[in-house]
A and B are shown apart, each in its own frame.
Chain A
Amino acid sequence: EVQLVESGGGLVQPGGSLRLSCAASGFTFSSYWMSWVRQAPGKGLEWVANIKQDGSEKYYVDSVKGRFTISRDNAKNSLYLQMNSLRAEDTAVYYCARKGIAARHFDYWGQGTLVTVSS
């Protein structure tokens, strides 16, 4: 059974940093592109970033470029999101999602971890 479990969320002050993790199991992690998608409270979904199987390609939504870094450790079946210079508008539930092989959709999602940026 595919499982994605996010962790690392919490309360952080504006300008602060946080590192999210996503532990994957039930599939060959190193064979899939992985993504982060966020959802601000009461708002819609927003794609944040994704990373190729070997980490050689990464893409970001404009609003986080230069502040967020996506990475992965295939030996640990883990995905990460390093978030720096956090702003109030980054407050959201952050979901880890798997992109289907040779696909352009997200076939499995984690339950999410809440990041709150507030003083």
Chain B
Amino acid sequence: DIQMTQSPSTLSASVGDRVTITCRASQNINTWLAWYQQKPGKAPKLLIYKAFSLESGVPSRFSGSGSGTEFTLTISSLQPDDFATYYCQQYYSYVTFGQGTKVEFK
């Protein structure tokens, strides 16, 4: 099984901050990685697919990078609507999610 490890688990930030979340895979997954945003009581929403492709309708302040085993999700200027939990997900072998990173108010 491919394990996905996110860091940090919790991130405290302010509006306007640049935020970076890291996701590491237990083996090479090329660029078969997606990022999701989830708000309480709601289903996750796809942000990024294939490591760096922005899903239609997602603000350009979100970006993804990386390949192989290390990936990052960056929010260039945190907005009030961005306080949520973020998950990475590998698609190289079936589907596995990271444990999540909660972005909270500092």
User: Do A and B assemble together?
Assistant: no
Hey, which bits of chain A sit against chain B, CB under 8 A? Answer: none
